A and B are shown apart, each in its own frame.
Chain A
Amino acid sequence: MKILETIFLLILVAIIMAAGNTIGYNINFISSLQALAILVVISIVGFLISKLPILKKLPVILWVSVVAAFVSSPIFPGHEIVVQVTDQVSLLAICTPVLAYAGLAIGKDLALFKRISWRIIPVSLAVFSGTFIFAALIAQLTLHWEGII
């Protein structure tokens, strides 16, 4: 995707997210916009890093998360402001537009989705169960080993 178009899309989506944050969580629109402005800047920096030679071998979201973790950690001078301002936007308010766009794209995949339909049900139950059971078992072993339980 082109760099300029991605930046404009980030801004557009941020406005939609701010609107959702205002409607659903009663945060005033300007505070919501400020919070999203910071997230947009973090995303743009991460996105630009991921376009650099060599660095572009790793996914853009990895760079976005590294930039976000860096600017919110104590080593970054303005970290308190970053955390305080971005707290104004709810994670759930960000999830809603993500899924709204995902929903609007579903139509084109319906035929393909039907092809694996019933198989995904037992597989999904195995996956959800697996993550819980194995993590609990390993936690049991290591907590026991550390003498906590």
Chain B
Amino acid sequence: MEILRDYRVHLLALLVVAVCELIGRQTIWIITIYPMLYAMIIGGMISLPKLKILKEKNMHNASAVMIVTLMLLIAKLGVAVGPKINEILNAKMALIFQELGHFAGTILLGLPLAMMLGMGREAVGATYSVAREPNIAIVADKYGLDSPEGRGVMAMYVCGTLYGAIWMSILASIIARLDIIHPYALAMGAGVGSGSMMAASLAPISDLYPNMAGEIKAYATAANLMSSVLGIYIYILFSLPFASFLYNTFSRLRSKKSSQKAGDK
């Protein structure tokens, strides 16, 4: 019951939540900032070791509570699935297959780069997904947040929160301008497992094709729904094990190569 009795952490959390919700969401140009972002920043400032407000022990307790809060988040996401179950079962093949794109794209593009830059097992947590809340929960559950994988997913989470939406918005407008991919397909690509990233990448696409804006939105929403339903199972059963397998394979190849080189000399 030690975590429950850490009133300092819980009171601070309540205070941070109240202040952030009072500020509310703010829109600057095309970028919308939500209270959750301030909550993380204010919480992070409170926990700065220099300020000495929280002890290491308090911070560990906060991290343990976060895993509990994720259960409520997943419960909330889950109750959106039931009412849509028929639509999901009737969904077209495209919606199912493009999930493979989300899954393969993050790992195939991210993992080799992360390893080239010298990241360790952090690379597995960082590149198996776009690192939104459910993805943190999956890693927290399997490896724990204090593991290298946990640090990787948290680092990516912060990046996604800080500039994910901005980057997606720029990327989507560049690719849409190339005019190689149909706007419906672009819209489905935008339906990643993150609401803010989806909104940000959707805006430039529907801007470029105003006469198809309605369909673009519908395809993106369907894809996003599919990501949030199938996504969690794909992440648990395929993405995370696959990223881990690929990491092990690459590092074995690398150590074989370096030992061969050493043998030549």
Contacts and interface: CB of A to CB of B under 8 A. Distances in A.
Q: Pick from B102, B105, B141, B168 the residue with the most CB of A within 10 Å.
A: B105
Interface string A55-90: 000111110111111111110100100110010010
B39 interface: yes
A107 B53 CA distance: 10
A110 interface: yes
A30 interface: no
Nearest to A21: B21
A135 B192 contact: yes
Interface residues of B, number: 126
Given A120-B126, A134-B189, A137-B181, 12 more contacts: A23-B22, A43-B71, A61-B71, A91-B195, A104-B16, A105-B59, A127-B156, A133-B109, A133-B175, A142-B92, A142-B93, A149-B185
A16 B181 contact: no
B114 A36 contact: no
B17 A20 contact: yes
Interface string B235-262: 0100000000000000000000000000
Contact of B40 (A36, A99, A107, A129): A99
A28 to B, nearest CB: 15
A108 to B, nearest CB: 4
A106 B12 CA distance: 14
Interface residues of A, number: 101
The 8 closest A-B pairs by CB, nearest first: A103-B43, A68-B78, A72-B82, A134-B105, A136-B189, A24-B21, A130-B109, A135-B101
Interface string A1-20: 11011101110111011011
B60 to A, nearest CB: 7
A105 B60 contact: yes
Interface of A: 1-2, 4-6, 8-10, 12-14, 16-17, 19-20, 23-25, 36, 38-40, 42-43, 46-47, 58-62, 64-74, 76, 79, 82-83, 86, 89, 91-110, 112-113, 116, 119-146, 148-149
Contact of B77 (A65, A135, A141): A65
30 contacts: A8-B4, A9-B3, A12-B10, A13-B68, A14-B72, A19-B14, A20-B35, A23-B22, A39-B79, A40-B72, A59-B137, A61-B71, A61-B138, A65-B77, A70-B82, A73-B85, A82-B82, A83-B83, A91-B77, A100-B13, A104-B13, A104-B44, A104-B62, A105-B145, A107-B44, A116-B119, A132-B189, A135-B192, A137-B189, A149-B182
Contacts of B225: none
A60 B71 contact: yes
A20 to B, nearest CB: 4
Given A102-B40, A107-B54, A132 B72 contact: no
Interface in B56-83: 56, 58-60, 62-83
B36 A99 contact: yes
A125 B105 CA distance: 12
B134 to A, nearest CB: 7
A128 B171 contact: yes
Interface string B157-199: 1111100100110011001000001101110111110010100
B65 to A, nearest CB: 5
A108 B60 contact: yes
Contacts of B137: 59, 61
